[in-house]
Amino acid sequence: MEHRLRYRRLYDRVLSRVYDHYMRWYMIPFGGERQFRRKMLDGLTFRPGERILDCTCGTGGCTAALRERSEPGAFLVGSDFSLGQLRMAIRKRALAGLPLLQADASRLPFRDGAFDSVFIPHALHEMPRELRRGVLREVRRVCGRHGRAVVLELDRPSRLWLRYLLGFWFFYWVPSPLNFETRTRLDLERRGLAREVAEAGFGRVRKLSKYAGTMQVVEGS
């Protein structure tokens, strides 16, 4: 619990103010943030009238891409643990009119099977293992028997030079606790994202490798 409170305070008071500026710089090697968000959704199918939840929406970058990509009649909701992040999202024209709610991804305020698709963009690597498990189980609950979870995450490329480049660019060289996600990222890398999604109860799990293996999309249904 203390970890989560520190995490929320960090985003509410500090990171929310610089997050969008940081992402614009962070995504330069990937063609810019907007292109990155779009390409991370390539290979996924969307249906008319689909009920979609972005349960770690942050400042809304992926949520905007989902709105652009979704089919006619889709119902899209964004939620996040941090009010600071949500305040930034609410200001964005691309998200005008969308419901944006504060919610803990491990205790979502929705009924069982409320959504057809639940997205978790670039958040699990910041969570300790038990919290990741709790979030994935909760996502399994709200997307129901016939729904799907889609996790967008960092990955470990097979080529050594890419691992070094990725580590330099994403500040992997900064040790814990200065880089607060180092320990949790390494644990997720060792465990394997697809394995953790399967352990949460998703029967069909597939992985889409992105950007030469530096990113991944894992879909469980």
**Domain-by-domain residue ranges, the chain?**
2-220
Q: How far is CA 216 from CA 146, 153, 207, in A?
A: 23, 5, 7
pLDDT over 80 at 185, yes or no: yes
pLDDT digit string, tens, across residues 91-104: 999 999 999 999 99
- H-run or E-run covering 164: helix 160-169
Homologous superfamily of 2-220: Vaccinia Virus protein VP39 (3.40.50.150)
Please state the pTM of the whole predicted model: 0.94
| Cis-peptide into 177, omega within 30 deg | yes
Residue 207 — very low, low, confident or very high, per pLDDT cuts 50/70/90? very high
Q: How far is CA 37 from CA 5, 178, 192, 215, in A?
A: 28, 27, 22, 12
